[in-house]
Amino acid sequence: MNAALALAEAVGADRAAAAELLPAVEAVMVRKLNEQIEVSRDG
């Protein structure tokens, strides 16, 4: 989380906004990654 917040700050994003949005973004990323793993395993 610290790295993501540092990255957000480095690109000029508001740290509080990033902290609020990161859990939702992370959830989508994990879901999509799991989908890709399933496809590569099945295919």
- What's the structural domain count of the chain? 1
Whether the model clears a pTM of 0.75, i.e. scores above it, the answer is: no
pLDDT for 1 equals: 80
pLDDT for 20 equals: 95
Q: Domain containing 34: what range?
A: 2-42
1-43 pLDDT, tens digit per residue, is: 888 889 999 999 999 999 999 999 999 999 999 999 999 998 6
CA distance 22 to 30: 12
Could you give the angle at which helices 15-42 and 2-10 cross, rounded to 10 degrees? 120
